[in-house]
A and B are shown apart, each in its own frame.
Chain A
Amino acid sequence: DAGITQSPRHKVTETGTPVTLRCHQTENHRYMYWYRQDPGHGLRLIHYSYGVKDTDKGEVSDGYSVSRSKTEDFLLTLESATSSQTSVYFCAISDRSGRTDTQYFGPGTRLTVL
């Protein structure tokens, strides 16, 4: 894995509780992304960041917020978790060095909302 860690790796929570997932990178890449992966769907973009304090929404951003206070950390928060947010969440990074936009992924966090 390209110097990306996610924590926690597994979490079970109850409907209505807040949840924060953390992505940490050691590659000093400018771009960071949060995706969710569900059966029958490809990876879907939730939010992404193009620099410290610079974030934007993705395809499925409702119910999620993000923050990036340092280059290496990108947090995903579910303010009030719902069962529809049960999923596997992946963080990705990219340096968009001009030639390619290859994204490298972390190991994922499996979240279950009861």
Chain B
Amino acid sequence: GESVGLHLPTLSVQEGDNSIINCAYSNSASDYFIWYKQESGKGPQFIIDIRSNMDKRQGQRVTVLLNKTVKHLSLQIAATQPGDSAVYFCAEKGSARQLTFGSGTQLTVLP
């Protein structure tokens, strides 16, 4: 899951397996959430988003689940590929209409 510590949480998965990356958000008033992927030396890349009136949204090989009761967001990646290796982080939009970002999870795909 997400952490504000000095070291990113890590997740290692075998190529072809499914990955689940978790994020605990802080603001119960947040109404919009985004998952980003960031490869080394690059800017964050939009993956998928979800509004608070939904609990699940699917994209190509990715699914985002939102549990507002426990303020938890997860990103599921199906059939993980080597190109999926990156840092993944979530962002939430609260009442201030600005995004607040988590510090990320490092996903490593093993051959």
Interface size grouping (class) on chain A: 20 to 34
Binds A, one of B13-21, B40-48, B59-67, B76-84: B40-48
Complexed CA–CA distance, A16 and B26 (Å): 37
Chain B residue nearest to A107 in the complex (CB): B43
B100: chain A residues at CB < 8 Å are: 42
In chain B, positions 29-51 with a C-beta closer than 8 Å to chain A are 32, 34, 36, 41-46, 49, 51
Check A108–B99 contact: CB distance below 8 A. no
Complexed CA–CA distance, A112 and B75 (Å): 34
Chain B CB within 8 A of A90 CB: yes
A101: chain B residues at CB < 8 Å are: 32, 93, 97, 99
Encode contact with B along A93-114: 1 for CB under 8 Å, 0 otherwise.
Answer: 0000000111111111000000
Chain A residue nearest to B90 in the complex (CB): A42
Could you list some 21 contacts between A and B, CB below 8 A? A39-B6, A40-B4, A40-B5, A40-B6, A41-B4, A41-B103, A42-B91, A42-B102, A42-B103, A42-B104, A43-B44, A43-B91, A43-B99, A43-B101, A58-B98, A100-B51, A103-B34, A103-B91, A105-B44, A107-B42, A108-B41
